[in-house]
Structure 1
Amino acid sequence: MEHSTATDKSHAAFDKSAISQLTADSLRLAMLPGIGPRTMSLLLEAFGDPAAVLAASDDQLASIHGVGQKLIQSIRSANQLVDVESIARWCHRNHVDIICQDSESQTSVVGTTTAYPRSLADLPDAPPILFVQGDLVADDELAVAIVGTRHATTYGLKQAEHLAYSLARAGVTVISGLARGIDAAAHEGALAGGGRTIAVLGSGHDHIYPREHEGLAKAVAADGAVISECPPYAKPRAGMFPQRNRIIAGLSLATLVIEAPDRSGALITARIAMEQNREVLAVPGPITSRVSRGCNQLIRDGAKLIQNVDDILEELGPMRAPVQTSDGHEVRNAAELQLNELERAVLNAIETESTPIDQVIQRSQLPTHSVIAVISVLEMRRLIRRLSGQYVSRI
């Protein structure tokens, strides 16, 4: 990490009290060599919190699966091995939040209050620490990952950019990995659509990879977030990219694959999405194209064939919990993002229990013929079901 007069001034402005004890202990533990997300999860499950893990006896630590003498010695030397203050200073200087899994909402080293994403919290190998440049907001629960080959064709790049643009215009956050090819096209399409996009790194924030995407990373952080589970000084390593794919899939309601050869990181992301019970979608390509072989196989094996943004929104289905969007609407199903004001008014008048159509007309204050027509549209979009001739309910 570079040092300069400007850097020293930033360091002087840094307040050590900005690092909570939870953040400090989480960093000491999570950044230790040999502790991956699964081991961290086992330790926290056994001892409750990072402070208790650091204070546990050798015998207690040795009782945890995968914890040997080498790792125990690392835990004993955590204060010497992990320079918490140096990491926090770098994050403060570069406007990067440090978010701990154990805390739903916390004040970060850059002075903002940020919550750990609910979509990641349930994963068995959820990252214990996230380094976030930009903002994570409630709207980001409505997210779709777009992934694919680094060696994309013109067709693939156009599809990625167009679908990301359309998702952004619909209010869906686009997640990808900032890589060359499909990833970059997806981020650029979302930005062009005026929407939010999140890039998940396979390195630390001080080593954006590839280097030519540093400008794109800044643009993504300005209208979304760039996140990593790696400390800022971590250089890109081959093994980190498959590992970061679980975060891309975990942040998303669905993973859309656009151009992927037989052996591809995008197919790893799709497999992880399946394991996480998330939807897997694919854009078809020519049967003679090597880069479309993986997508065509996904479709053959049951992935949804995608031709336009409506196909994607139809597959997202009901949310596990309602999301309050920035425009004040409560969204329970991603398909609601395509509704006009008339359709939204009718939907808002329908309960999850049996609701008389006369009551829908009264609540929406719309003409009877308009309500009847909209009910048919909402039923086709699988947002409501007709229980009988005169009763409907939300799905």
Structure 2
Amino acid sequence: MHDPLPADDDELRAWLTALRTPGLGPGGLRQWLDRSGGDIHAALAQLHRDGATFDPAARAWLARPDEARLAQDLAWLAEPGHRLLRCTDADFPPQLEHIPQPPAVLFVAGDPSLLLHPQVAIVGARAASASGMAHARAFARTLAGAGFTITSGMADGIDGAAHAAALDAGAKALAVIGTGPDRVYPRKHHALARRLAEHGALVSEFPPGTAARPDHFPRRNRIISGLALGVLVIEAGLRSGSLITARLAAEQGREVFALPGSIHNPLASGCHRLIRDGARLVEHASEIVELLAPAARSLGLELAARLSEEGAGEAVMTTVADPDYRRLLSALGHEPATMEELVQRTGLSTGTLSSMLLMLELDGRIERRPGNAYQAMPLPLQA
């Protein structure tokens, strides 16, 4: 006879059981959660009672889940740096709540707080040209230096170049993948996947063991565009999957940027179509930074309100006990300071500073100013 699971594992097991129910999907799981007040155990109990509404495979799974498969899922989650981020968690990214068909859970290898950071998605052709790869690296470095997390899909070409450039610059990068979190696709990106898990995050809505399938990548794309404040397309043919990401971004109310190219380059035709359809033509990363700064501020305010409602604000406020945070607050002084100035004053990396600045902004201790500068807020007078 097996010992009972610890309470946390028992709850995770319930989520995994529901997640793997055939035919349920993220939308169905969210509906059952809504009916049960967000309680996964109550949702599973209702699924058992109303199982007749599902197909035979779902009824069979709910009656007798594959314990070996669930044990493998739990073993993956038990490894350091792994997390099942649930839509009922206070730190589930609020920007995903406003997209069509939001995910119910996200498997994360790495730092889950990156999903709360202001992000720019950089996507484009797998068979990119040398100049396209150079553009991806340059834009990623500049945007990361401005405090944005670089998000993409870890595909070959533009995606991988953007991820690697951000990491090489000491900044953060986030990859949303179309496989389980324990799989790497394409296989050539094993080293990149390890770097992302160590210095950024790998994110998937698919459970461990899920192989790559063509229909997974459009589903992945809605999460890439949903997490980001804007999507930059660098080189895309007329049938590129990057155009799907751009279309989803536009439908989700995100900004879409496209880099123009030569009329003789077939990989520029997709970008030119996007521009004709209303995407913003950009030539310099500073254009993106200037346009997205207000949206980044709005995201911070929304997140702060959500954390306050969930009673999680105390966790944010404890960050200032850290000596690095005290050093940063001292370096800010009374005048606005840019990211470059703060790097020089503190000796901290851009990636570290961007994370710290976000937490301080959510705590109301600093304010983002025009030109991607930051200023300390005056402390309230004591009564």
Please give the per-residue CA displacement for 1:275-300, whole angstroms capped at 9, x wherever unaligned.
11111111111122111111111111
Q: Which has the higher helix share?
A: 2
Distance (Å, rounded) in 1 between the aligned partners of 2:271 and 2:146: 24
TM-score by length of 1: 0.73
Q: How does 1:210-289 map to 2 (within 5 A)?
A: 210-289=186-265
Change (3 A) 1:99 1:78: farther
Amino acid in structure 2 at the alignment position of 1:210: P
Change (3 A) 1:18 1:50: closer
Q: 1:40 aligns with which of 29, 34, 38?
A: 29
Residues 145 and 339 of structure 1: CA distance in aligned 2, closer, same or farther (over 3 Å): closer
Aligned counterparts of 2:164 and 2:244: Cα–Cα separation in 1: 23
Partner of 2:298: 320
2:285 & 2:117 partners in 1: Cα distance?
18
Secondary structure (helix, strand or coil) at the match of 1:322 reads helix
Judge which range, 82-91 or 306-315, deviates more.
82-91
1:87 aligns with 2:73: yes
SS in structure 2 of the partner of residue 43 of structure 1? helix
1:67-216, aligned counterparts within 5 Å?
68-70=54-56, 72-74=58-60, 76-77=62-63, 79-80=65-66, 83-93=69-79, 95-104=81-90, 115-137=91-113, 140-216=116-192
Are residues 139 and 57 of structure 1, via their aligned partners in 2, closer, same or farther at CA, if it must alter by over 3 Å?
A: closer
Q: Residue 23 in 1 paired to residue 18 in 2? A: no
From the CA coordinates, give the structure whose radius of gyration is larger. Answer: 1
Q: Considering Cα pairs closer than 8 Å and 6+ residues apart, tell me whether 1 or 2 has the greater RCO.
A: 2
Mapped to 2, the partners of 1:334 and 1:248 lie a distance apart of: 27
- Shift of the 235–334 alpha-carbon distance from structure 1 to 2, 3 Å rule, reads farther
Unaligned runs of 5+ in 1: 1-14, 105-114, 350-395
Closer, same or farther: CA 57–20 of 1 in aligned 2, 3 Å: closer
Deviation at 1:330, TM superposition (A): 2.1
| Equivalenced residues, count | 317
1:169-224 C-alpha deviation (Å, 9 max, x unpaired)? 11110000111000001101111222110011100122200111010011112221
Distance in structure 2 (CA, Å) of the matches to 1:287 and 1:175: 28
SS in 2 for 1:79: coil
Deviates more, 1:45-54 or 1:69-78: 69-78
Identity %: 37
Q: Could you tell me how far 1:43 is from its partner in structure 2?
A: 2.6
1:339, distance to aligned residue in structure 2 (A): 3.9
Partner of residue 380, structure 1:
none
| Structure-2 separation of matches of 1:95 and 1:185 | 24
Deviation of residue 60 (structure 1)? Answer: 4.4
Which sits farther off after the overlay, 321-330 or 248-257? 321-330
SS at match of 2:224: helix
Deviation at 1:58, TM superposition (A): 6.9
TM-aligned CA distance change 1:271 to 1:139, over 3 Å: closer
d(CA) in 1 for partners of 2:63, 2:235: 46
